[in-house]
Amino acid sequence: MTTPLTVDLRGVSRWYGNVVAVNDITMSLGAGVTGLLGPNGAGKTTLLHMMAGFLAPSKGEVLLGGNPTWRNPDVYRDLGLVAERESVPAHLTGWEFVHASAKLHGLADPAGAARRALELVEMTEAAGRRLGTYSKGMRQRARVAASLVHDPAVLLLDEPFNGMDPRQRAHMMELLHSLGDQGRTILFSSHILEEVEQVSGTVQVIVNGRLAASGDFRKIRRLMTHRPHVFVIRSTDDRRLATALIASPAVTGVSLGAEELTVHAGDYGTFTRALPKVALAEGIRVRQLVPSDESLESVFAYLVSA
Protein backbone atom coordinates (compact mmCIF):
# COMPACT_ATOMS: atom_id res chain seq x y z
CA MET A 1 0.00 0.00 0.00
CA THR A 2 1.49 3.29 -0.99
CA THR A 3 -0.27 6.39 0.26
CA PRO A 4 -3.46 6.83 2.21
CA LEU A 5 -6.37 8.02 0.12
CA THR A 6 -9.45 9.92 1.13
CA VAL A 7 -12.98 9.24 0.01
CA ASP A 8 -14.78 12.52 -0.56
CA LEU A 9 -18.49 13.01 -0.92
CA ARG A 10 -19.62 16.50 -1.83
CA GLY A 11 -23.28 17.32 -1.72
CA VAL A 12 -24.20 13.81 -2.80
CA SER A 13 -27.85 12.98 -3.30
CA ARG A 14 -29.52 9.99 -4.85
CA TRP A 15 -33.17 9.67 -5.61
CA TYR A 16 -35.39 7.15 -7.31
CA GLY A 17 -38.40 8.98 -8.66
CA ASN A 18 -40.01 10.47 -5.59
CA VAL A 19 -37.98 8.55 -3.05
CA VAL A 20 -34.84 10.23 -1.83
CA ALA A 21 -32.44 7.59 -0.62
CA VAL A 22 -29.47 9.84 0.13
CA ASN A 23 -30.02 13.48 0.85
CA ASP A 24 -27.21 16.00 0.37
CA ILE A 25 -24.41 14.24 2.19
CA THR A 26 -20.97 15.78 2.46
CA MET A 27 -18.30 13.80 4.21
CA SER A 28 -14.66 13.01 4.01
CA LEU A 29 -13.19 9.71 5.08
CA GLY A 30 -9.54 9.51 5.95
CA ALA A 31 -7.18 6.89 7.25
CA GLY A 32 -8.45 4.63 10.01
CA VAL A 33 -11.69 2.81 10.59
CA THR A 34 -15.00 4.64 10.29
CA GLY A 35 -18.34 3.11 11.06
CA LEU A 36 -21.32 3.98 8.92
CA LEU A 37 -24.21 3.69 11.24
CA GLY A 38 -27.89 3.90 10.60
CA PRO A 39 -31.17 2.07 10.91
CA ASN A 40 -32.23 -0.27 8.13
CA GLY A 41 -33.34 1.67 5.10
CA ALA A 42 -31.36 4.76 6.04
CA GLY A 43 -29.32 4.72 2.86
CA LYS A 44 -26.11 3.03 4.01
CA THR A 45 -25.98 0.51 1.19
CA THR A 46 -26.86 3.17 -1.37
CA LEU A 47 -24.04 5.33 -0.09
CA LEU A 48 -21.57 2.47 -0.10
CA HIS A 49 -22.48 1.52 -3.64
CA MET A 50 -21.97 5.08 -4.76
CA MET A 51 -18.56 5.13 -3.15
CA ALA A 52 -17.73 1.84 -4.83
CA GLY A 53 -18.73 3.07 -8.27
CA PHE A 54 -21.81 0.92 -8.64
CA LEU A 55 -24.35 3.70 -8.54
CA ALA A 56 -24.28 7.17 -9.94
CA PRO A 57 -25.15 10.04 -7.63
CA SER A 58 -28.15 11.98 -8.84
CA LYS A 59 -26.38 15.10 -7.66
CA GLY A 60 -22.97 15.89 -6.24
CA GLU A 61 -19.71 14.05 -6.66
CA VAL A 62 -18.14 11.00 -5.14
CA LEU A 63 -14.37 11.06 -5.34
CA LEU A 64 -11.69 8.63 -4.32
CA GLY A 65 -8.27 10.20 -4.13
CA GLY A 66 -9.62 12.99 -6.27
CA ASN A 67 -11.00 10.74 -9.02
CA PRO A 68 -14.70 10.05 -9.55
CA THR A 69 -15.72 6.50 -8.79
CA TRP A 70 -18.54 6.24 -11.34
CA ARG A 71 -17.66 4.68 -14.70
CA ASN A 72 -14.03 4.49 -13.74
CA PRO A 73 -12.70 0.94 -13.50
CA ASP A 74 -9.20 2.16 -12.63
CA VAL A 75 -10.43 3.21 -9.23
CA TYR A 76 -10.48 -0.46 -8.25
CA ARG A 77 -6.69 -0.54 -8.09
CA ASP A 78 -6.97 1.23 -4.78
CA LEU A 79 -10.41 0.11 -3.72
CA GLY A 80 -11.72 -3.12 -2.30
CA LEU A 81 -15.41 -3.79 -1.78
CA VAL A 82 -17.05 -6.48 0.32
CA ALA A 83 -20.70 -6.23 -0.65
CA GLU A 84 -23.60 -7.26 1.51
CA ARG A 85 -24.91 -9.86 -0.87
CA GLU A 86 -23.20 -13.10 -0.05
CA SER A 87 -22.97 -14.63 -3.44
CA VAL A 88 -19.76 -16.31 -4.40
CA PRO A 89 -19.15 -18.69 -7.29
CA ALA A 90 -19.88 -21.91 -5.44
CA HIS A 91 -17.95 -24.16 -7.79
CA LEU A 92 -14.56 -22.57 -7.11
CA THR A 93 -12.42 -23.45 -4.12
CA GLY A 94 -11.43 -20.73 -1.69
CA TRP A 95 -7.93 -20.69 -3.06
CA GLU A 96 -9.08 -20.49 -6.68
CA PHE A 97 -11.43 -17.66 -5.84
CA VAL A 98 -8.81 -15.51 -4.14
CA HIS A 99 -6.15 -16.44 -6.66
CA ALA A 100 -8.46 -15.46 -9.53
CA SER A 101 -9.09 -12.16 -7.82
CA ALA A 102 -5.34 -11.59 -7.64
CA LYS A 103 -4.91 -12.45 -11.31
CA LEU A 104 -7.76 -10.18 -12.36
CA HIS A 105 -6.05 -7.32 -10.55
CA GLY A 106 -3.03 -7.91 -12.73
CA LEU A 107 -0.70 -8.45 -9.78
CA ALA A 108 2.88 -9.49 -10.46
CA ASP A 109 2.75 -12.42 -8.05
CA PRO A 110 -0.85 -13.51 -7.80
CA ALA A 111 -0.15 -16.74 -5.94
CA GLY A 112 1.89 -14.99 -3.27
CA ALA A 113 -0.68 -12.24 -2.84
CA ALA A 114 -3.46 -14.80 -2.58
CA ARG A 115 -1.58 -16.75 0.04
CA ARG A 116 -0.95 -13.65 2.11
CA ALA A 117 -4.57 -12.57 1.89
CA LEU A 118 -5.79 -16.00 2.98
CA GLU A 119 -3.39 -16.01 5.91
CA LEU A 120 -4.67 -12.61 6.94
CA VAL A 121 -8.22 -13.93 7.26
CA GLU A 122 -7.07 -17.28 8.68
CA MET A 123 -8.52 -19.32 5.86
CA THR A 124 -5.47 -21.24 4.73
CA GLU A 125 -6.57 -24.70 5.90
CA ALA A 126 -10.03 -24.48 4.39
CA ALA A 127 -8.83 -22.95 1.14
CA GLY A 128 -8.85 -26.26 -0.68
CA ARG A 129 -12.59 -26.78 -0.31
CA ARG A 130 -15.23 -25.44 -2.63
CA LEU A 131 -16.95 -22.24 -1.64
CA GLY A 132 -20.28 -24.00 -1.80
CA THR A 133 -19.29 -26.07 1.24
CA TYR A 134 -18.33 -23.08 3.36
CA SER A 135 -20.29 -21.72 6.27
CA LYS A 136 -21.57 -18.18 6.07
CA GLY A 137 -18.70 -16.77 8.12
CA MET A 138 -16.13 -18.58 6.03
CA ARG A 139 -17.61 -17.25 2.82
CA GLN A 140 -17.48 -13.80 4.27
CA ARG A 141 -13.82 -14.18 5.13
CA ALA A 142 -13.07 -15.50 1.66
CA ARG A 143 -14.68 -12.42 0.18
CA VAL A 144 -12.67 -10.18 2.47
CA ALA A 145 -9.50 -11.99 1.38
CA ALA A 146 -10.41 -11.52 -2.28
CA SER A 147 -10.93 -7.81 -1.71
CA LEU A 148 -7.63 -7.39 0.12
CA VAL A 149 -5.47 -9.29 -2.29
CA HIS A 150 -4.29 -6.18 -4.12
CA ASP A 151 -3.45 -4.27 -0.96
CA PRO A 152 -5.99 -1.49 -1.46
CA ALA A 153 -5.74 1.86 0.24
CA VAL A 154 -9.51 1.98 0.68
CA LEU A 155 -11.71 -0.87 1.84
CA LEU A 156 -15.50 -0.68 1.94
CA LEU A 157 -17.49 -3.32 3.77
CA ASP A 158 -21.27 -3.53 3.80
CA GLU A 159 -22.54 -5.14 7.01
CA PRO A 160 -19.44 -7.32 7.35
CA PHE A 161 -20.36 -8.86 10.68
CA ASN A 162 -23.66 -10.28 9.47
CA GLY A 163 -23.90 -13.91 10.35
CA MET A 164 -20.58 -14.18 12.13
CA ASP A 165 -20.19 -15.93 15.42
CA PRO A 166 -18.54 -14.02 18.29
CA ARG A 167 -15.10 -15.49 17.72
CA GLN A 168 -15.15 -14.68 14.02
CA ARG A 169 -16.48 -11.24 14.75
CA ALA A 170 -13.70 -10.54 17.24
CA HIS A 171 -11.17 -11.69 14.72
CA MET A 172 -12.61 -9.57 11.95
CA MET A 173 -12.68 -6.55 14.23
CA GLU A 174 -9.04 -7.07 15.08
CA LEU A 175 -8.25 -7.38 11.40
CA LEU A 176 -10.05 -4.16 10.55
CA HIS A 177 -8.29 -2.38 13.40
CA SER A 178 -4.88 -3.47 12.23
CA LEU A 179 -5.66 -2.56 8.63
CA GLY A 180 -6.83 0.84 9.78
CA ASP A 181 -3.70 1.31 11.82
CA GLN A 182 -1.65 0.67 8.70
CA GLY A 183 -3.08 3.84 7.28
CA ARG A 184 -5.83 2.44 5.12
CA THR A 185 -9.21 4.09 4.88
CA ILE A 186 -11.78 1.59 6.06
CA LEU A 187 -15.50 2.14 6.07
CA PHE A 188 -17.91 -0.46 7.28
CA SER A 189 -21.63 -0.15 7.68
CA SER A 190 -23.73 -1.61 10.39
CA HIS A 191 -26.98 -1.18 12.20
CA ILE A 192 -25.71 -3.00 15.29
CA LEU A 193 -24.35 -0.53 17.76
CA GLU A 194 -22.09 -2.83 19.73
CA GLU A 195 -20.14 -3.69 16.60
CA VAL A 196 -19.46 -0.09 15.76
CA GLU A 197 -18.60 0.76 19.34
CA GLN A 198 -16.03 -1.96 19.54
CA VAL A 199 -14.37 -1.37 16.22
CA SER A 200 -14.20 2.31 15.76
CA GLY A 201 -14.73 5.44 17.68
CA THR A 202 -15.38 7.41 14.53
CA VAL A 203 -18.87 7.17 13.15
CA GLN A 204 -20.94 8.64 10.40
CA VAL A 205 -24.55 8.40 11.38
CA ILE A 206 -27.11 8.28 8.62
CA VAL A 207 -30.77 8.68 9.35
CA ASN A 208 -33.36 8.80 6.56
CA GLY A 209 -30.74 9.56 3.98
CA ARG A 210 -29.27 12.49 5.83
CA LEU A 211 -26.00 12.68 7.65
CA ALA A 212 -27.06 13.18 11.23
CA ALA A 213 -23.67 13.26 12.89
CA SER A 214 -20.02 12.49 12.22
CA GLY A 215 -16.94 12.11 14.35
CA ASP A 216 -16.07 10.41 17.60
CA PHE A 217 -19.28 9.30 19.17
CA ARG A 218 -18.29 10.35 22.64
CA LYS A 219 -17.64 13.87 21.43
CA ILE A 220 -20.92 13.82 19.59
CA ARG A 221 -22.69 13.02 22.79
CA ARG A 222 -21.16 15.99 24.48
CA LEU A 223 -22.33 18.18 21.68
CA MET A 224 -25.89 17.23 22.30
CA THR A 225 -26.69 19.81 24.91
CA HIS A 226 -30.42 19.69 24.60
CA ARG A 227 -30.72 16.49 26.49
CA PRO A 228 -29.49 16.19 30.00
CA HIS A 229 -26.47 14.07 30.63
CA VAL A 230 -27.12 11.15 32.89
CA PHE A 231 -24.59 10.08 35.47
CA VAL A 232 -24.63 7.19 37.82
CA ILE A 233 -22.91 7.94 41.11
CA ARG A 234 -22.05 5.65 43.98
CA SER A 235 -21.01 7.40 47.14
CA THR A 236 -20.79 6.98 50.88
CA ASP A 237 -24.13 8.76 51.38
CA ASP A 238 -26.27 8.90 48.29
CA ARG A 239 -29.28 10.54 49.82
CA ARG A 240 -27.44 13.47 51.27
CA LEU A 241 -25.52 13.92 48.09
CA ALA A 242 -28.74 13.91 46.16
CA THR A 243 -30.21 16.63 48.34
CA ALA A 244 -27.13 18.75 47.95
CA LEU A 245 -26.89 18.25 44.23
CA ILE A 246 -30.47 19.17 43.45
CA ALA A 247 -29.71 22.58 44.87
CA SER A 248 -27.15 23.13 42.13
CA PRO A 249 -28.42 24.85 38.96
CA ALA A 250 -26.49 22.39 36.77
CA VAL A 251 -28.64 19.50 37.97
CA THR A 252 -32.10 18.97 36.51
CA GLY A 253 -33.09 15.83 38.34
CA VAL A 254 -31.97 13.11 40.75
CA SER A 255 -33.35 9.68 41.42
CA LEU A 256 -32.32 7.25 44.11
CA GLY A 257 -31.96 3.62 43.39
CA ALA A 258 -31.14 0.75 45.71
CA GLU A 259 -27.41 1.04 45.30
CA GLU A 260 -26.77 4.15 43.36
CA LEU A 261 -27.80 7.65 42.57
CA THR A 262 -28.78 8.72 39.09
CA VAL A 263 -28.29 12.38 38.28
CA HIS A 264 -29.60 14.23 35.23
CA ALA A 265 -27.35 17.18 34.47
CA GLY A 266 -28.22 19.94 32.05
CA ASP A 267 -24.70 20.97 31.30
CA TYR A 268 -21.85 18.54 31.26
CA GLY A 269 -19.13 21.05 31.99
CA THR A 270 -20.88 22.86 34.86
CA PHE A 271 -21.91 19.66 36.48
CA THR A 272 -18.48 18.06 36.41
CA ARG A 273 -17.08 21.16 38.06
CA ALA A 274 -19.89 21.39 40.59
CA LEU A 275 -19.88 17.79 41.75
CA PRO A 276 -16.48 17.73 43.49
CA LYS A 277 -17.29 20.98 45.28
CA VAL A 278 -20.61 19.70 46.52
CA ALA A 279 -19.19 16.39 47.63
CA LEU A 280 -16.32 18.07 49.45
CA ALA A 281 -18.64 20.52 51.19
CA GLU A 282 -20.87 17.67 52.40
CA GLY A 283 -17.98 15.45 53.32
CA ILE A 284 -19.18 12.66 51.08
CA ARG A 285 -16.79 10.42 49.24
CA VAL A 286 -17.72 9.68 45.66
CA ARG A 287 -16.76 6.12 44.84
CA GLN A 288 -17.93 5.87 41.29
CA LEU A 289 -19.03 8.31 38.63
CA VAL A 290 -20.15 6.85 35.35
CA PRO A 291 -21.70 8.78 32.47
CA SER A 292 -24.44 6.31 31.76
CA ASP A 293 -25.75 7.56 28.48
CA GLU A 294 -22.55 8.16 26.65
CA SER A 295 -22.93 4.87 24.91
CA LEU A 296 -23.38 4.86 21.22
CA GLU A 297 -26.82 3.49 21.78
CA SER A 298 -28.06 6.60 23.47
CA VAL A 299 -26.38 8.80 20.87
CA PHE A 300 -27.99 6.78 18.18
CA ALA A 301 -31.38 6.66 19.77
CA TYR A 302 -31.29 10.39 20.24
CA LEU A 303 -30.28 11.05 16.67
CA VAL A 304 -32.82 8.67 15.24
CA SER A 305 -35.67 10.05 17.24
CA ALA A 306 -34.76 13.67 16.70
Partner 1 sequence: MNLTICALTVRALFGRRRFLLLLPAPLILMGLTWLAVSLGASDQDLVTAVVVGLGMTAVVPLMSLIIGASVLGSEIDDGTVIHILTKPIPRWQIILSKLVVASGVSALVTAVPMFVVGAVIDGPKLGAGLAGGAAIGAAVYSALFLALSVVSRRPVLLGLVYVLVWEGLLTNLVSGAKVLSVQKYVATFAQSISGTPLMERPLSVAVAVAMSVVLAVLATYYASVRLRSFSVAGETS
Q: Using the rule CB under 8 A, is 136 a contact of partner 1?
A: no
Alpha helices (H) along 193-289: 193-199, 217-223, 238-246, 268-282
Q: Using the rule CB under 8 A, is 74 a contact of partner 1?
A: yes
Q: Which amino acid, 282?
A: E
For residue 55, give the nearest of 42, 38, 39, 68 by alpha carbon. 68
Q: Is 277 helix (H, G, I), strand (E, B) or coil?
A: helix
- Which of residues 57, 80, 160, 209 is near partner 1 by CB under 8 A? 80
- Which of residues 59, 77, 273, 277 is near partner 1 by CB under 8 A? 77
Q: Which is nearer to partner 1, 71 or 226 (CB)?
A: 71
- CA distances to 223, 258, 264 from 228, rounded to whole Å, are 11, 22, 6
**Which residues are within 8 A (CB) of 75 and not within 5 positions of it... i.e. 6 or more apart?**
53, 64, 67, 68, 69
**Which residues are within 8 A (CB) of 209 and not within 5 positions of it... i.e. 6 or more apart?**
20, 21, 22, 23, 25, 42, 43
**Stretch in the footprint of partner 1 (CB under 8 A) among 69-77, 112-120, 181-189, 290-298:** 69-77
Do the Cβ atoms of 28 and 66 come closer than 8 Å? no
- CA distances to 25, 27, 54, 63, 214 from 11, rounded to whole Å, are 5, 9, 18, 11, 15
**Stretch in the footprint of partner 1 (CB under 8 A) among 84-92, 217-225, 260-268, 288-296:** 84-92
Q: Which is nearer to partner 1, 74 or 259 (CB)?
A: 74
Q: Using the rule CB under 8 A, is 127 a contact of partner 1?
A: no
For residue 173, give the nearest of 144, 147, 152 by alpha carbon. 144
Closest approach of Cβ 90 to partner 1, in Å?
9
**Stretch in the footprint of partner 1 (CB under 8 A) among 87-95, 182-190, 221-229, 241-249:** 87-95
**Stretch in the footprint of partner 1 (CB under 8 A) among 26-34, 89-97, 229-237, 262-270:** 89-97
**Stretch in the footprint of partner 1 (CB under 8 A) among 57-65, 78-86, 167-175, 280-288:** 78-86
- Which of residues 2, 17, 19, 73 is near partner 1 by CB under 8 A? 73
Q: Using the rule CB under 8 A, is 147 a contact of partner 1?
A: yes
SS (H, E, C) 189-217: EECCHHHHHHHCCEEEEEECCEEEEEEEH
Q: Using the rule CB under 8 A, is 100 a contact of partner 1?
A: yes
Site string for partner 1, 38-57 (x = CB under 8 A): -------xx--x--x-xxx-
Q: How many chain residues touch partner 1 (CB under 8 A)?
A: 35
Q: Using the rule CB under 8 A, is 91 a contact of partner 1?
A: yes
For residue 82, give the nearest of 163, 2, 20 by alpha carbon. 163
Q: Using the rule CB under 8 A, is 187 a contact of partner 1?
A: no
Q: Using the rule CB under 8 A, is 93 a contact of partner 1?
A: no
Q: Is 14 helix (H, G, I), strand (E, B) or coil?
A: strand
Chain residues in the site for partner 1 (CB under 8 A): 16, 45-46, 49, 52, 54-56, 71, 73-77, 79-81, 83-85, 87-89, 91-92, 97, 100-101, 103-106, 146-147, 158
